[in-house]
Chain A
Amino acid sequence: MASPTDTPTQQPFTGAFGIMQSHPDERTSVVALEGELDLGRAPNLKWALVDSLDAGYRQLVVDLTHVTFMDSTALGVLVGVNRSLDVGARMSIVCVHANVLKIFELSGMDGTFAIYPTLDQALAYVRGHTSRIG
């Protein structure tokens, strides 16, 4: 089992809000975000995820560990990407921040997404090693 450390490509965070994409293996894409995920930055997340899907990655992990706030627009992006997943493709979310977890809960999407507190758990889910625990 590949660990998230053996990442072939990695781009650093840039600016106040950064997106870092890494690929632990040839099927998995980890999109890590930092800062506030609001109306102006939700498109960045959308294109990062869409590009990963277009590049053939079937296992997506959205790492919101360093995201302090997320609004309904970003939630909409996650909902849209989650709905567009093909059969066999999986997406999970890493989230520990209370504000973001509250938004997931309030919107009722905590039952829709596979949300985990750690990246390893999220990777295990998208690789099919664990079932849904939401």
Chain B
Amino acid sequence: MASYASRLLSASRRRGVLAAIAAACCVLGCAWLPAAPADAKHVKAVSAPVASSEATTAPQSKSAEREAKAEGSGASQSPAAAAAPVERPSESAAVGHKRRGRPSRLPAKSQAGEAPAGVASGPRSASRGGAGAGKPSHKATGPRSSSTSASAQEPTQSGETSAQRSAALARQKKGSGRKGKAGKTVTSALRQGTARGASNAQVPAGQSSEPSAVATAAAVGTTATSSVVAPAAAKTASAAGVHARRVARRTRHRVAKKPAGRRGAAGPPSTATLLLPTVASATTPARAPRVAAKKTPAPTSQPALVKTITRIVGVVPMAVWMLIAALVALALALGVRSRLAARRTRRLERQRGQLLEDVGLLQAALLPVPPMRLGPVGTTAAYRPADGPGAGGDFYDVFALEGGQLAVIIGDVSGHGREALPHTALLRFTVRAYLEAGLPPRKSLQTAGTVLERQLGDSFATVLAATYHPRRRTFTYASAGHPPPIVIPQPATAGDARSIKPVTAGSAPPIGAGMRTGTRQTVIAVPGPAQLCFYTDGVTEARVGTDLFGDARLAAALAALGRGASAATLLDSVAEQTDARPDDMAACLLRVEGGAGAPAILVEEFELDRDTAASARTERFLIACGVQPAELAEIMHEARAQAERFDTVLLELRFDGAAPVVSMHHDNVVHTAELAAASVS
């Protein structure tokens, strides 16, 4: 039910839309009418007063002309039967009405539309309206006035019979020879006929001595022009004749302005044979030339191609025109939109460039470019963000300390991107400050961990701090949850690329993880030429297929690069060897030259508190350092006792020979600080 209603609704709406389109087409079509029929109308309209002026006064004829003009707008379509032989008498003028109301703009229909429908034969002939198109036109000559009256007597056959009726009435009324009145009546009849919009009324002015002016307003095609042909006899009244001549001149003038193709059709409207040649010539022109005449002032002078194009253009339906107009409007709108989008894109590109510049400056501030050489050590550093430009959570720093020492900081704040940036800067400068103040790496991280524990919020950071002593040729590094450096002797050999196996057991937790950190420190001796690689876990966690890149591959890549390796080339090499790099990558490369000998671990430190001293971690650490199981229990017992007594104890293992030498120290500074923190809390 509902669907039916909606279908009805949609159908009615569709009909309404179609009706609207049709109405629009009609309006546009009327406005777009070819000029030629209008010209024909003018001729006919002007000829009417000529006729009427024979019998009536000038004002009346003017009114008739006015009416004829008014009618002419809708009259141009009239398919007058000009195509028919003029000589063929027509029995019925009403036949032409069969075509009433049908649009005759199509070329096929408009064969006869050119002609002024009205035909006047000789003087005193009965006037006659043009017949319908497609039907033989009828032409009433003088003696044939009876036929015109016959047509007037059959109003039922004619749709436009009012003029005929009026004319008949006039004939009946005007038995007298008063031409003025007869003319007036004829004019009124003519007016009615033209008002109906279809008739050509030929007013046989007749002679003044012939009062029964035979006026036949024969209807023409429905939309036909009205043509009043007055075969004004030379014997007509002189005063009216003067006016007629004036009008005739005017008409001639208008005709002269018409295109050549139309001129013959218009003909000189001067005398009683006014429109006879018009009819004759009007039979020939077809619709298409008329369209051409409308489009171009001088169609005959144009090449055939242009004519063809104009003809094709002329037959395009109005709906197609409207469609074309809509498409053009759409294209214009899209063009404007595209242009605006292009401008916006350019603006955004410009802004992006500026932002990238700013980010580059900030990144340079966070990730400094180290000097190529710090004392005896060559230094390089590089950074590759995980996603897009800009610094992430990785940070590094390489700088000189007092006494010719050198410091390296590298770290990774959890998360990466812009939220990690503030913590990155905070960590880097905090740790750097403690290193520059002279604290060893482990103490620097321990203090930084205590200071930054709350400032990092929910995030935490892995940091590695290292110093290089050039005279002793030792590296001292401490890690807070960060991977240890890779040390490669130079020249590197393929087999033992990694000469140092760092002890990772008992590693200190990251800064900000809620645990005490800065508990581990390692001292490495680098007596000969070597390269040290500090890196973030983004490098070793890059993917090779489903596998991790790992520190072994990193060491191999570093060894493969040889002496000329830099951090940038190392990261490039890693990027080439990996398929996915989900995290930021940072690397610092230090190159130590001169001397001889392989790098080796000198000292391992582990600071124990009470819990740690009793934990399995300490055992694992001692085992990893090579402590013999026989000594393990004794060392653990002693460490627990020391930690109970002093809260913390520093376990130090020195690797001078085959077995490490274990010693324990009390770190009073830390002890005091922890006591203070405990008392505060």
B partners with A: yes
Interface residue tally for chain B (C-beta within 8 Å):
36
Segment at the interface with A among B346-354, B503-511, B650-658:
B503-511
Q: Is the CB of A107 within 8 A of B462?
A: yes
The listed residue (A38, A69, A107, A110) touching B510 by CB distance below 8 A is: A107
The listed residue (B415, B480, B507) touching A105 by CB distance below 8 A is: B507
Residues of B within 8 A of A87 (CB): none
Residues of B within 8 A of A76 (CB): 414-415, 459-460
Q: Is the CB of B583 within 8 A of A80?
A: no
Interface string of B487-521 (1 = CB under 8 A from A): 00000000000000000111111100111010110
Q: Is the CB of B505 within 8 A of A105?
A: yes
Tell me, rounded to whole Å, the shortest Cβ–Cβ distance linking B501 to chain A: 13
Q: Is B338 an interface residue (CB 8 A)?
A: no
The listed residue (B415, B517, B541, B583) touching A108 by CB distance below 8 A is: B517
Residues of A within 8 A of B537 (CB): 71-72
Residues of B within 8 A of A83 (CB): 458, 513-514
Q: Is the CB of A38 within 8 A of B616?
A: no
- The complex places the Cα of A123 from the Cα of B583 at a distance, in Å, of 34
Q: Is B615 an interface residue (CB 8 A)?
A: yes
Q: Is the CB of B513 within 8 A of A111?
A: no
Tell me, rounded to whole Å, the shortest Cβ–Cβ distance linking B583 to chain A: 7
Residues of A within 8 A of B508 (CB): 108
Residues of B within 8 A of A111 (CB): 506, 509, 515, 612, 615, 617
Q: Is B598 an interface residue (CB 8 A)?
A: no
Q: Is B582 an interface residue (CB 8 A)?
A: yes
Interface string of A53-66 (1 = CB under 8 A from B): 00000000000000
8 A Cβ contacts from B434-477 to A: 458-460, 462
Residues of B within 8 A of A2 (CB): none
Q: Is A96 an interface residue (CB 8 A)?
A: no
Residues of B within 8 A of A38 (CB): 541, 582
Q: Is the CB of B504 within 8 A of A109?
A: no
8 A Cβ contacts from B502-546 to A: 504-510, 513-515, 517, 519-520, 537, 541, 546
The listed residue (A40, A102, A105, A112) touching B513 by CB distance below 8 A is: A112
Tell me, rounded to whole Å, the shortest Cβ–Cβ distance linking B364 to chain A: 25
Tell me, rounded to whole Å, the shortest Cβ–Cβ distance linking A130 to chain B: 14
Q: Is the CB of A110 within 8 A of B460?
A: no
Residues of B within 8 A of A73 (CB): 414-415, 583
Q: Is B548 an interface residue (CB 8 A)?
A: yes
Q: Is the CB of B582 within 8 A of A107?
A: no
Q: Is A121 an interface residue (CB 8 A)?
A: no
Closest residue of B by beta carbon distance from A82: B514
Q: Is the CB of B414 within 8 A of A112?
A: no
Q: Is the CB of B617 within 8 A of A134?
A: yes
Q: Is B39 an interface residue (CB 8 A)?
A: no
Most buried by A among B412, B479, B510, B620: B510
The listed residue (A82, A107, A134) touching B615 by CB distance below 8 A is: A134
Q: Is the CB of A108 within 8 A of B507?
A: yes
Q: Is the CB of B458 within 8 A of A102?
A: no
- The complex places the Cα of A109 from the Cα of B514 at a distance, in Å, of 10
Q: Is the CB of A112 within 8 A of B514?
A: yes
Q: Is A50 an interface residue (CB 8 A)?
A: no
- The complex places the Cα of A83 from the Cα of B480 at a distance, in Å, of 17
Residues of A within 8 A of B483 (CB): 106
Closest residue of B by beta carbon distance from A104: B507
Closest residue of A by beta carbon distance from B546: A36
Closest residue of A by beta carbon distance from B505: A105
Residues of A within 8 A of B479 (CB): 108
Q: A69-B548, A106-B483, A107-B509 are in contact. Are A79 and B460 (CB under 8 A)?
A: yes
Q: Is A124 an interface residue (CB 8 A)?
A: no
Q: Is the CB of A80 within 8 A of B510?
A: no
Closest residue of A by beta carbon distance from B612: A111
Most buried by B among A40, A73, A83, A107: A107
Closest residue of B by beta carbon distance from A105: B504
The listed residue (B458, B507, B617) touching A107 by CB distance below 8 A is: B507
Q: Is the CB of A72 within 8 A of B617?
A: no
Tell me, rounded to whole Å, the shortest Cβ–Cβ distance linking B324 to chain A: 54
Tell me, rounded to whole Å, the shortest Cβ–Cβ distance linking A29 to chain B: 21
Q: A108-B481, A111-B509 are in contact. Are A71 and B541 (CB under 8 A)?
A: yes
Interface string of B176-208 (1 = CB under 8 A from A): 000000000000000000000000000000000
- The complex places the Cα of A110 from the Cα of B507 at a distance, in Å, of 8
Most buried by A among B507, B546, B616: B507
Residues of A within 8 A of B611 (CB): 132
Interface string of A73-100 (1 = CB under 8 A from B): 1001001101100000000000000000
The listed residue (A71, A109, A112) touching B583 by CB distance below 8 A is: A71
Q: Is the CB of B582 within 8 A of A40?
A: yes
Residues of B within 8 A of A39 (CB): 582-583
Q: Is A1 an interface residue (CB 8 A)?
A: no
Q: Is the CB of A72 within 8 A of B514?
A: no
Tell me, rounded to whole Å, the shortest Cβ–Cβ distance linking B380 to chain A: 24
Q: Is the CB of A109 within 8 A of B415?
A: no
8 further A-B contacts with Cβ under 8 Å, apart from A71-B583, A79-B460, A112-B515, are A76-B459, A80-B458, A106-B481, A108-B480, A108-B510, A109-B481, A110-B617, A112-B513
A-B contact pairs, 29 of them (CB 8 A): A38-B541, A71-B583, A72-B414, A72-B541, A73-B414, A73-B583, A76-B414, A76-B460, A79-B414, A79-B460, A79-B514, A83-B458, A83-B513, A102-B504, A105-B505, A105-B507, A107-B462, A107-B507, A107-B510, A108-B479, A108-B507, A108-B508, A108-B517, A109-B510, A110-B617, A112-B513, A112-B515, A132-B611, A134-B617
